[in-house]
Structure 1
Amino acid sequence: MTQTIYLDYAATTPVDPRVAETLQQYLTPDGIFGNPASRSHAVGWQAEAAVEQARARVAGLVGADSREIVWTSGATESDNLAIKGAAMANQAHGRHVITSLIEHKAVVDCFLWLQERGFEVTWLEPDEAGCISRAQVEAALREDTILVSLMAVNNELGSINPLQAIGALLRERGVLFHVDAAQAAGKMALDVSAMPVDLMALSAHKAYGPKGVGALYVRRSPDVTIEAQIHGGGHERGLRSGTLATHQVAAMGHAFNLALEEGDAEAGRFESLRSRFLDAFGGLSGVHVHGPERARIPGIINIGFEGVDGESLLLALRGVAVSSGSACASATTEPSYVLRGIGLSPEMAQGSLRFSLGRFSTEEEIDTAAERLTEAVARLRERGAARRATV
């Protein structure tokens, strides 16, 4: 059986083998398997020490103090804790919140939840590159605005929002700023000690760690208040109750530490692979690369093919794992709401695929995938022309 070429790293990454070894060390009787909240014996102390080391490692990647890191089950829970928690804790100061039309579903659905409960939501429209500007945010601000939530990197386009400029504006106005950084951590520089961000969601499985664990950065300031969404024991300084999965937490810490050490080199390699991939089918007509030329991460490539249905192309690309959009929205056959949000026609949005590169992508895989893609597009276009000729 031919091995699948995996080009869907934006959906999830495989666990780095080095991180997998760390996972194993915290599961079995001869490892550090204790409950980190058990502070009456050495087994619990060892687990707590592992959790705190991991907390420091996660903090180190984003320039935070380790006391500002709250463990969660993933970026979705982090987004829920940040958005719902901030809105509910600060509603006495106002009930107006701001986000964009092309946020991840975890953010979009939180704002819809707030809207159902009487909050007024302003939905900002991105430019054709998938970015929100400082001027747009400034124009939307009101006296009763309490929260703005924008992603660092769009999960379908790879576009990077101007966080520094937007955050500086919001800090000046006293409005909380939440950033979903699931697709950014390890792929671009993040330094919350210099960036005016109050809340930042992080995910392990987007950075070669395990699924089921994430973190929320909560800036240590009296101005940043959020309400807990999960209760029962008062863990994580009362912000997120529940026994911590020590093995997952330790693995996330290891994964983020590797990202800190190797991220710059990886970004350069991804840029090279991206260019190689796009050059490989440069002779194919009717091809459109969506997203910005510069303000982007190199690992996400969204491409539209004229005259081709995206779902048909996915089926025709045997042995190549890619997606037609976010994994969290793949249950629908509707065109990507992100691509529609940047102004693409339904036909072009439907004919687009997302290719995402990762740590284990090779030049040989890139060449083979580009070759299969070129053949599949040509074949589907020929079939389409033949069908039209018989009508």
Structure 2
Amino acid sequence: MQRTATTTGLGSMVALMIAALPAYAQTDFSQCLARLERTALDSGVSAGTVQSVLPNVEPRESVIESDRNQPEFLATFADYLGRRATNERISQGRALYAEHRSLLDELTRQYGVPGHYIVSFWGLETNYGRYLGNVPVFDSLSALACDARRSEFFTEQFVNALQIVDRGDVEPDVMRGSWAGAMGQTQFMPSSYLRYAVDGDGDGRVDLWNSTPDALTSAANFLRGIGWQGGFRWGREVLLPDDFDYGAAGRDQRRSLGEWRRQGITDVAGRRIPDLDMQGAIVVPAGQRGPAFIIYDNFDVIMRWNRSEYFALTVGHLADRIAGAGPLANPPVEDGPIRRDDVVRVQEYLVENGYDGGTADGIFGSRSRAALRALQRDLGLVPDGFLSQELLRAIGLVTD
């Protein structure tokens, strides 16, 4: 009985502690909201707007969980591209490109951005406006602003979102988006909305949720604002010679097109690339088991929209398909998922066997790739610096 009583007492104590945690969390969140309110008022947001929004803001732990989530498996280019540049999305993009051709041609004339790129961004961000996200923007931004890791950035975004309401563009309850606070058909953060969103339908307001002309015009304005170069492509798929040095690949290794031409790089039809006065870099997102691309300055512009190389390549490829191009000549081969734990194990293997791969931190950067290329040469594998199931088998980390 004594043991039962003691156990029951501890259980009650734990229950009381758990029950108390939300109250403490709520207190901390209330204090953070008070800070956000002061910051907004100091930034010139009207008291009426602040009072109409803040009482309805709710804490969302799921936002923090999403922000900190690390997937078990690394994304592969084959999986990323296959899920996003689908035949259905390509056909829908072509249909919408035709439907909005008049507007898109005008945007090309005004902003210098070809319409098929604008439609590609639209398709990848929200499936052409079909999925805008359903998290209240003020809930997501306040949760992230109250988290210590990136509080300054998201505090600014929270205030910017209030400024959007303050200028009368949209009502607060319309402002729903991703867990990270991206909004509308083209998923603008509030700061980008304030700087680049424009009225494309002439109704005197900017509404990226319900107005497709506003969304597409704003996307064109944003791309021009971050450096889009009219008259130039993002890049193109190319063929590499059999003796290509994969150590020369990477966004940071730009060379003149003439130099790449002399190295035997051709387009997918086998024609030598043009000897133009411009620079490009070779990227191989799946190593030797997939396509190679030569990328130009507009590729870097796409990465200012989203810093994922996979995203930028998919934008470019989807834009090409919308404009009528065919599929990749060398589509990526799905070799099987790579666990994050496997990345660490490979890095540890490199160090233990005398290859300078740096710290085993699970981040496979340029130093790790250089070390892996050296290992691959020693093993008689193609030295492309990419993790694969073949490599894991070769060094005994997995077995068939």
Q: TM-score range by the shorter chain?
A: under 0.3
Larger Rg over CA atoms: 2
> Normalising to structure 1: TM-score of the pair?
0.24
Choose between structure 1 and 2: higher helix proportion.
2
> Normalising to structure 2: TM-score of the pair?
0.24
- Which one scores higher on RCO, CA 8 angstroms, separation ≥ 6? 1
Choose between structure 1 and 2: higher strand proportion.
1
